[in-house]
Amino acid sequence: MKIRVVIERPFGRVELEGGNLDEIIEELESFPEWHDIIDNLVLTAAPQEFPPSERESLSGIISRSEEGPLITLPRERLSDKEAIGLLLYAQDPKAIEPKRIGRLLELSGRPSSGFGARLSEMRREGLVVREDGAYRLSPVGKRWVEDLINRLKGGE
């Protein structure tokens, strides 16, 4: 008897198959490694730089400082996930370590003890990928932030 597990991801479906439950468990244990490899392949297939016009779209939302990008919008206009997404977008294509994300949120007047949980949620949703302990937006995450920027610019 064959056992099949199907996992839906933003980039498509991943199917695991085994002859017994132990084989499936073994494959599932190695799945996080596969997930990172697949995410990295998806990222390298996507364009790494965005045009200057998109950088200009961050004016009024993000300011540059010696520490890095800082959010200039009032706290009530953005959720913590949206704030993290904007910071990652402003640093693209560089990945940012969680400690630095926390610092940038704090400097932006958005201290958040739960930002690590938001990063985990964003990773599960396919919005960010983790590379060597740092985070960057996935192609899906970039589109999500671009939609957010359009909504923020349109709401002013």
In tens, the pLDDT along 15-28 reads 778 888 888 788 77
150: its two tokens: 């359009």
Extended beta strands in 80-131, E state: 128-131
In tens, the pLDDT along 84-120 reads 999 999 988 889 999 999 999 998 888 878 888 999 9
CA-closest candidate to residue 46, choices 143, 144, 131, 121: 143
> How high is the pLDDT of residue 96?
92
CATH topology of domain 52-154: Arc Repressor Mutant, subunit A (1.10.10)
Contact by Cβ (8 Å): 117, 126: no
Report the length, in residues, of the chain: 156
> How high is the pLDDT of residue 8?
67
End-to-end CA distance of the chain: 59
pLDDT interval class at 155 (50, 70, 90): low
pTM for the predicted model, two decimal places = 0.65
Contact by Cβ (8 Å): 73, 61: yes
